[in-house]
Amino acid sequence: MSSKTGSNGTLDGRANVEKFLQWRQEVEDFKPYIRQGVLSISRVAAESGLNRNVFYTNPEIRDQLIPELEAMLLARGLLSAHSTVPPTVIIQSSAPATKAAGSQLKRLTEQNEAYRAEIAELRRQLQRQEATQSLLGESGRLPW
Domain ranges of the chain: 9-84, 91-144
Cα dihedral sign, 29-32-38-41 = negative
C-alpha neighbours within 13 Å on the C-beta side of residue 23 = 20
Positions in the chain whose pLDDT score sits under 70: 1-7, 82-94, 143-144
Tell me if the pTM is above 0.75. Answer: no
